[in-house]
Amino acid sequence: MALPALSSSGVKFRRVLAHFPQELSLAFAYGSGVFRQAGDSAGPGENNMLDFVFAVDDSVTWHMMNLTKNRSHYSFLKVLGPKQINSVQNYGAGIYYNTLVPCNGRMIKYGVISTDTLIDDLLHWKTLYVAGRLQKPVKNKEGKTSFKNPLGTNSRLSCRFDVRQTHGLVQNDWNKQPVYCCIHHHIKMRYCSSFSPLKIFHHNLKVKILTQNENSKLQAALVSNLKSAVTAAFLMLPESFSEEDLYMQIAGLSYTGDFRMIVGEDRSKVQNIVEPNVPHFQKLYSNILQDCPQVVYKHHLGRLEIDKSPEGQFAQLMALPRTLQQKITSLVDPPGKNRDVEEILLQVAHDPDCGFVVQQGISRIVRPSSVVQSAKTILTAGVKKSVTYSMKKLYKMTKGWLRKTS
């Protein structure tokens, strides 16, 4: 199946980035204005708003420079200065959006998030707000969708569920197999402790990564986020399922519990993201799936089988991000008992409703941040833009519902 060419998109996005301060650790674009979704006649809608996220090391300094360059992008909060803007940014998912901004003949929306907040979300799923957007297929600068193994095709890509996260790094404490790590060409071979061997090369079907600096901790966090998405999806799927089922589950993680899926978003959103882009999901996740010891990946059939034994599910639960483990623990453990996390997760692993418990845990992460972020829009966009933006979302939701019922 031929993948759509996006030859002019790189120039278009670079021109947008040129309007902003260049001190970015990561910048990516996402949404229906960037890539085709089901229901679009050909490609991304030229009339749709372009959505961006900028990760910056120092939010106060970046907002100060952006106020100098693009003061009109901000709501009335601009009169309070960069420190107060940063204070508002830190609420909810820790991201500050300027919306309905005219730029190069298009309307854009861009969010600003600190690099540390982004890394925390990627590693621990504190809100899953931005981490969820980065669980979609990634295209590299040459237009290919893939993970690249810097050590060559003969080296093993490690994707084990017996993994613990310590101080933001990935550690393997269960076996003494050699673990390879490569972060920006610093190649080492160690035993027991290492970074993940995968390095992301960018651009994406739902997310297009435009620029990224050499932050090894951010690199490791981006990979960890993808592995966590696969682990969580496995726990919510049956023993045997299709690749499309897996990608639907992964794409839907950050919408689980999002109140905007009730009012404000097309309820077929996840399906619309996945259906046209299955080949890109395959290219992003195939190496991870092929290397997981608990899955039988029948690539030629598009089918997968996973270990649903209590032992297998316990290993997966132990590999989940810290915040999700905490939410699951609070759901299962009665107040006052204060049992160990491992004891509680072992109980969940034996529960026939294990997948539902994981889903509820994810919902408890997503719902609060989605509510606060939506409420913040009134401050960050102003009343007029908030109403306009909300009406556009409701229109898209209604359009999707009519398309589904016709």
Q: Which pLDDT tens digits describe the chain residue by residue (406 residues)? A: 333 434 456 677 888 899 999 889 999 888 777 656 655 554 555 667 888 999 999 999 999 999 999 999 999 999 999 999 999 999 999 999 999 999 988 899 999 999 999 999 999 999 999 999 999 864 332 333 333 333 333 333 344 443 333 333 333 333 333 322 233 333 233 333 333 333 333 433 456 666 666 778 998 999 899 999 999 999 999 999 999 999 999 999 999 987 666 654 555 778 888 888 888 788 888 888 988 888 999 888 999 999 999 999 999 999 999 999 999 999 998 777 778 999 999 999 999 999 999 999 999 999 998 889 888 888 888 777 666 655 665 555 555 555 555 5
Distance CA 211, CA 21 (A): 13
Please choose, from the candidates 274, 229, 20, 14, the residue with its C-alpha nearest in 3D space to the C-alpha of residue 132. 229
Distance CA 246, CA 135 (A): 12
Please state, as a whole number, how many other Cβ atoms lie within 10 Å of the Cβ of residue 126.
20
Do residues 314 and 343 make contact, with C-beta atoms less than 8 angstroms apart? no
Confidence at residue 280, expressed as pLDDT on a 0 to 100 scale: 79
Please report which helix (H) or strand (E) contains residue 384, including its range. Answer: helix 383-405
Residues 6+ apart with CB under 8 A from 76: 382
User: What's the distance, CA 56 to chain centroid?
Assistant: 17
Single-letter amino acid code for the residue at 318: M
Beta pairing class for 106-114 and 50-56: parallel
Give strand pairing partners of 53: 28, 111
Helices 310-318 and 354-381 pack at an angle, to 10 degrees, of 20
Instruction: Tell me the whole-structure pTM to 2 decimals.
Output: 0.77
Distance CA 201, CA 223 (A): 11
Write the CA distances from 290 to 35, 42, 181, 237, integer angstroms: 27, 32, 18, 18
Confidence at residue 147, expressed as pLDDT on a 0 to 100 scale: 36
Please report which helix (H) or strand (E) contains residue 364, including its range. Answer: helix 354-381
Do residues 88 and 60 make contact, with C-beta atoms less than 8 angstroms apart? no
Query: Exposed/middle/buried for 71, CB within 10 Å: 0-12, 13-18, 19+?
Result: exposed
Confidence at residue 154, expressed as pLDDT on a 0 to 100 scale: 38
Rg (CA), the chain: 21
Distance CA 302, CA 309 (A): 22
Confidence at residue 263, expressed as pLDDT on a 0 to 100 scale: 57
Single-letter amino acid code for the residue at 148: K
Confidence at residue 155, expressed as pLDDT on a 0 to 100 scale: 37
Residue with tokens 């901004």: 101
Single-letter amino acid code for the residue at 15: R
Maximum distance among all Cα pairs of the chain, rounded to whole angstroms: 60
Confidence at residue 396, expressed as pLDDT on a 0 to 100 scale: 58
Confidence at residue 253, expressed as pLDDT on a 0 to 100 scale: 95
